[in-house]
Chain A
Amino acid sequence: MIISLRRFSYDDLVGQLSKDDKIIIFTCNVCIKFCDIGGRTRAHQLAEKLRSDGYNVIREENIGAACILDLVEKRKTDAATAKAFEEATVILPLTCEDGFDNISYAFPNAKVISVTKTVGIGVFSTDKGMTLTVPFETTGLGINIDGYPLSEVAEKLGCYAGPYFDGNAKP
Chain B
Amino acid sequence: MVTLSEPLPYEKITENLSKDDKIALISCNSCVRFCNSGGVKHMNDLASKLRADGYTVTDVIPTVGLCVHDYVRNARVSEGITAVIVSACIAGWTSASRRWRDIKVIPTVETFGIVIADKRVGNMKLMMAFDKYKDLVGQEWQLMTGERQKEQKIPVPIPEGH
- Which residues of A line the B interface, CB within 8 A? 1-2, 30-31, 65, 67-70, 96-98, 101-102, 105, 118, 121-126, 128, 133-134, 136-137, 143-147
Contacts and interface: CB of A to CB of B under 8 A. Distances in A.
B67 A122 contact: yes
Interface string B70-84: 100100000000000
22 contacts: A1-B67, A30-B2, A31-B2, A67-B115, A68-B1, A68-B119, A69-B117, A97-B127, A101-B157, A101-B159, A105-B155, A121-B2, A121-B114, A123-B67, A123-B68, A134-B91, A134-B130, A143-B94, A144-B94, A145-B94, A145-B95, A146-B98
Contacts of B118: 68-70
Interface residues of B, number: 36
Secondary structure at the A interface, as helix, strand, loop or mixed, is: mixed
Interface string B117-145: 11110000001101100000000000000
Contacts of A137: 130-131
Contacts of A2: 2, 114
Specify which of B1, B91, B111, B162 lies most central, judged by the most chain A CB atoms within 10 Å of its CB.
B91
Contacts of A145: 94-95, 97-98, 101
A130 B130 CA distance: 20
Main secondary structure of the interface of B (DSSP, over half): mixed
A12 to B, nearest CB: 20
A102 B98 contact: no
B91 A98 contact: no
